Structure 1
């Protein structure tokens, strides 16, 4: 596998996470560079691990993973999107006592990162059947995602200042659209 091909895979795998990061950054209370970097690192690590998991699973049972990956990604992203929309419509009804930082905490972000990285797992499955250096591919995917998510959070900050408190509503819609696009692509829409 050529270095340019590996880079293109890394960039392609990071686009969903970038879009999600813009939505999340818009919903946050003015995220700084530190939070953007931590979020980018979290997404990068998860996005870098999933192709390795896919590669390992691909060796054992490729047809089962590729048959369900799009449904898993769709379900996670729709649930996250609906949750964000709920909080965008009902910002004062938070179970966390009105603390918006809790909705953007570690577990919420990790679940979002997992939802956007299911396609990277499918790439890992396909790489199991090629003579591809999985460690290098996973590292490139992780690094591309880290950079793209960090930029996405910071761009979301700008958009959040422009659209106000209802930015989380828009972010939720973005999550659902990403999930629907993944499902559409895998069910033959891209054919």
Structure 2
């Protein structure tokens, strides 16, 4: 996987957490950098670990589906992309406030990282090394959540929904490229 592909994937994986962070920031009158960074760090760690878990699970199953693994990756990525687009087109939900208990913020972070776990599974099926994508996803999420909370009050939930739609389109494109590369 090229550096550009890893960066695009990392950005796509951080868009749902970015949307949540914008909504959290929009619900507060003032967001301190320190608080935004704490939430960003929590979400980034969770989002960076889940592809590792997905990759480990996918690696176990990969030997059983080796002849059609690219189709599995294609279906998972495209399905996830369609889900993200659907959520981006749906009315916004109430966001969790960053003043919530740590366990509730962690649960929110995990909920936004399920897609990264699925990506980890699909990367295992394509025999991609997971360390750099996982680190990139974690760092992108840390950055995007921190920024999302800081600018959330100004740009509101609309930009968050658009970011989620864009992330879904990117995942579909990555799935199509994966299938194309393996069909040649």
- Distance between the aligned counterparts of 1:159 and 1:58, measured in 2? 38
Superposed displacement of residue 105, structure 1? 2.9
Alignment partner, residue 105 of structure 1: 101
Question: Residue 128 of structure 1 aligns to a residue in which SS?
Answer: helix
- Distance between the aligned counterparts of 1:133 and 1:41, measured in 2? 23
Q: How many residues align?
A: 149
Q: TM-score, normalized by length of structure 2? A: 0.65
Q: TM-score, normalized by length of structure 1? A: 0.63
Instruction: Find 1:140's aligned residue among 136, 153, 158.
Output: 136
The change in CA–CA distance for 1:134 and 1:157 in structure 2 (over 3 A counts) is same
Matched, 1:11 2:7: no
Matched, 1:40 2:44: no
Question: Residue 109 of structure 1 aligns to a residue in which SS?
Answer: helix
Superposed displacement of residue 61, structure 1? 4.2
* 8 Å CA contact retained: 2:51, 2:118: yes
Superposed displacement of residue 156, structure 1? 1.3
- Distance between the aligned counterparts of 2:123 and 2:60, measured in 1? 13
In the TM superposition, what are the counterparts of 1:180-191 in structure 2 within 5 Å?
none
Alignment partner, residue 154 of structure 2: 158
- Distance between the aligned counterparts of 1:10 and 1:4, measured in 2? 10
- Distance between the aligned counterparts of 1:146 and 1:29, measured in 2? 22
Root mean square deviation, CA, Å:
3.6
- Distance between the aligned counterparts of 2:30 and 2:104, measured in 1? 18
Runs of 5+ consecutive residues of structure 2 not aligned to the other structure = 66-75, 173-184
Question: Residue 112 of structure 1 aligns to a residue in which SS?
Answer: helix
